[in-house]
């Protein structure tokens, strides 16, 4: 009988061991199943961790070619020979971009959160500081932004709103979805199209002295097309009369008051925030405070995130969590502007002065460009 009890204890121990192994294997396979479906990677990561290594400041003449939304699409060229809109993308290219674009370290392809239309859009202006502003905002844990410029409301509107929504990163409740496309501000159809999506959308416009902005715009184009005509030959209709050629995009973009008139037909002034490109350089924390207030966000981005780089002469982001170095300007920053006759610049200042004053009145802010 003692031997029977021994056999019973041995058999029971073996059975218990097999049951333990079975449940362990079930747990392991369950874990791997969730990881393979993307669930393991769906939790938000540190808010201040960024995947890119260099901050791309368009206001600061960082002239690196911007990351293309549709990498396989050939560029079209505008009047001055600058790279402009990509051709219509293939579905494979679009699907690939949607799977790889990230915001604050959260993959777009995960299953956590919801894809929403942007509640706020940076609509302008080119060479004003829009990229710097977007990168500063992406430090905030409650902001999720599409990294590239989708150009939906000016170039790909025929794709439909659902196509546009699917480009956006997934967000959690309480987070804001954003995008930036500076050419919206100067696109006649953009206000009505954005209002069709949502007339409550908040609109951010980064503006800069239009003369400096035009020179910066020209310098960027010249770096890509060395055979470009001189600045003065493009800016003036006739050198003897000194009339300004407003058909040249570098000049036309700086007519802020005219462009704003078009937007005010669809949106009240209270839905706009005008950010000073100059103050974004001289006082980034101060301007970011205004932006966060406008978006209804807690003031998270502050002085502690910036330091002034004496070598570059501009503010940079301090070393983010998980990064080996601070995030500052790209290597191509600091390209010297071409020599432009002072009388040409003065003609431009005289030309813009009434438009600037009108813009000050409309926006309720004096940017001090005169």
Question: Mind listing the pLDDT tens digit for each residue in 239-248?
Answer: 888 899 999 9
Q: Which residues of 184-208 are buried (b: 16+ CB within 10 A; e: fewer)?
A: bbbbeebbebbeebeeebbbbbbbb
Tell me which of 85-99, 122-136, 152-166, 337-351 is least confident. 85-99
User: Side-chain half-sphere of 271: how many Cα atoms within 13 Å?
Assistant: 20
pLDDT in the model for residue 321: 58
Torsion of CA 263, 265, 266, 270, to 10 degrees: 70
Residue 277 within a domain = yes
- Work out whether the CA dihedral 178, 299, 128, 195 comes out positive or negative: positive
The whole-number average pLDDT for the span 6-25 is 63
| Residue whose structure tokens are 């939906």 | 152
Q: Where are the alpha helices (DSSP H) in the chain?
A: 2-36, 91-100, 130-137, 161-167, 190-197, 210-224, 231-235, 249-252, 256-263, 277-282, 284-294, 342-363
pLDDT tens-digit series, residues 47-68: 333 333 344 444 443 333 334 4
96-100, 136-140, 165-169, 250-254: which range is least confident on average? Answer: 96-100
What does the pLDDT look like over 155-208, one tens digit per residue? Answer: 999 999 999 999 999 999 999 999 999 999 999 999 999 999 999 999 999 999
The confidence band for 70, taking pLDDT boundaries of 50, 70 and 90, is: very low
Does 342 carry a binding-site annotation? no
Q: Is the peptide bond before 268 cis (omega within 30 degrees of 0)?
A: no
Supply the range of the domain harboring residue 158.
Answer: 114-209+252-334
Does 193 reside within a domain? Answer: yes
> Is 81 a member of any domain?
no
Task: Say how many domains are in the chain.
Answer: 1
The SS3 call for residue 269 is helix
At 55 the pLDDT is: 44
Structure confidence at residue 109 as a pLDDT band (50, 70, 90): very low
* pLDDT of the residue at 274: 98
150 appears as a binding residue in the annotation: no
Write the CATH number for 310. 3.40.50.300
Contact 189, 157 (CB under 8 A): yes
At residue 45, the pLDDT reads: 38
Environment class of 170 (CB within 10 Å of its CB; exposed 0-12, middle 13-18, buried 19+):
buried
Quick one: which of 335, 304, 330 has its CA closest to 317? 304
Average pLDDT over residues 99-108: 42
d(CA 263, CA 281): 27
Does the residue 176 lie in any domain?
yes
Q: What is the per-residue burial (b if ≥16 Cβ within 10 Å, else e) of 85-111? A: bbeebeeebbeebbeebbbbbbbbebe
Between CA 177 and CA 115 the distance in angstroms is 8
In the set 18, 126, 127, 318, the catalytic residue is: 127
Q: How far is the C-alpha of 184 from the C-alpha of 197, rounded, in Å?
A: 14
C-alpha angle 138-143-149 in degrees, rounded to nearest 5:
65
Q: Is 2 annotated as a binding residue?
A: no
Q: Is 227 annotated as a binding residue?
A: no
Is 131 annotated to bind ligand? yes
Would the annotation count 138 as a binding residue?
no
* Residue 335 annotated as binding site: yes
In whole angstroms, what is the distance from residue 307 CA to residue 318 CA?
Answer: 6
Q: What pLDDT is attached to residue 14?
A: 63
- The Cα–Cα gap between 18 and 54 comes to 54
Alpha carbon distance 82, 180 (integer Å):
20
Answer whether residue 11 is part of any domain: no
Q: Which residues pair with 170 in a beta bridge?
A: 115
Any domain includes 196: yes
Q: 315-358: per-residue pLDDT in tens?
A: 788 866 566 566 674 554 456 789 999 999 999 999 999 999 99
Q: What is the pLDDT of residue 42?
A: 38
Contact predicate 54/328, CB 8 Å: yes
- Identify whether 4 is part of a domain: no
3-state secondary structure of 315: strand
Is 224 part of the annotated catalytic residue set?
no
Ranges 202-211, 237-246, 257-266: which has the least confidence: 237-246
Higher model confidence: residue 31 or residue 287? 287
Domain-located, residue 105: no
**Degrees (nearest 5) of the Cα angle 202, 204, 205?**
150
* Longest distance between any two alpha carbons in the chain, whole Å: 121
């Amino acid at each position: 009988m003692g031997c029977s009890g021994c056999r019973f204890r041995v058999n029971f121990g073996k059975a218990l061991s097999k049951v333990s192994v079975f449940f362990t294997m079930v747990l392991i396979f369950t874990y791997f199943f969730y990881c393979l479906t993307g669930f393991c990677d769906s939790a938000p990561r540190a808010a201040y961790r960024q995947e890119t290594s260099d901050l791309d400041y368009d206001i600061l003449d960082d002239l690196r070619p911007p990351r293309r939304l549709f990498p396989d699409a050939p560029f079209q060229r505008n009047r001055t020979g600058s790279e402009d809109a990509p051709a219509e993308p293939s579905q494979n290219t679009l699907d690939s971009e949607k799977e790889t674009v990230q915001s604050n370290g959260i993959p777009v392809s995960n299953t956590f959160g919801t894809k929403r239309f942007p509640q706020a859009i940076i609509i302008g202006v080119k060479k004003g500081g829009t990229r710097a502003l977007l990168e500063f905002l992406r430090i905030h844990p409650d902001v999720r932004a599409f990294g590239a410029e989708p150009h939906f409301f000016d170039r790909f509107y025929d794709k439909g709103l659902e196509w546009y929504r699917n480009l956006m990163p997934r967000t959690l409740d309480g987070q804001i979805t954003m995008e930036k496309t500076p050419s919206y501000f100067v696109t006649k159809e953009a206000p009505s199209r954005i209002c069709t999506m949502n007339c409550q959308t908040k609109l951010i416009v980064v503006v800069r002295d239009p003369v400096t902005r035009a020179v910066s715009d020209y310098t960027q184009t010249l770096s890509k097309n060395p055979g470009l005509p001189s600045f003065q030959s493009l800016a003036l209709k006739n050198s003897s009369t000194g009339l300004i050629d407003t058909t040249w995009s570098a000049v036309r973009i700086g007519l802020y008051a005219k462009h704003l008139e078009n937007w005010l037909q669809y949106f009240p002034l209270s839905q706009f925030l005008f950010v000073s490109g100059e103050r974004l350089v001289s006082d980034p924390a101060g301007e970011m405070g205004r932006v966060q207030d406008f978006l209804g966000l807690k003031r998270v981005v502050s002085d502690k995130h910036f330091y002034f780089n004496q070598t570059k002469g501009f503010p940079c982001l301090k070393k983010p969590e998980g990064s080996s170095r601070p995030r500052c300007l790209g290597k191509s920053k600091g390209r010297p502007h071409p020599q432009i006759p002072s009388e040409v610049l003065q003609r431009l200042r005289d030309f813009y002065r009434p438009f600037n004053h009108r813009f000050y009145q409309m926006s309720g802010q004096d940017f001090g460009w005169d």
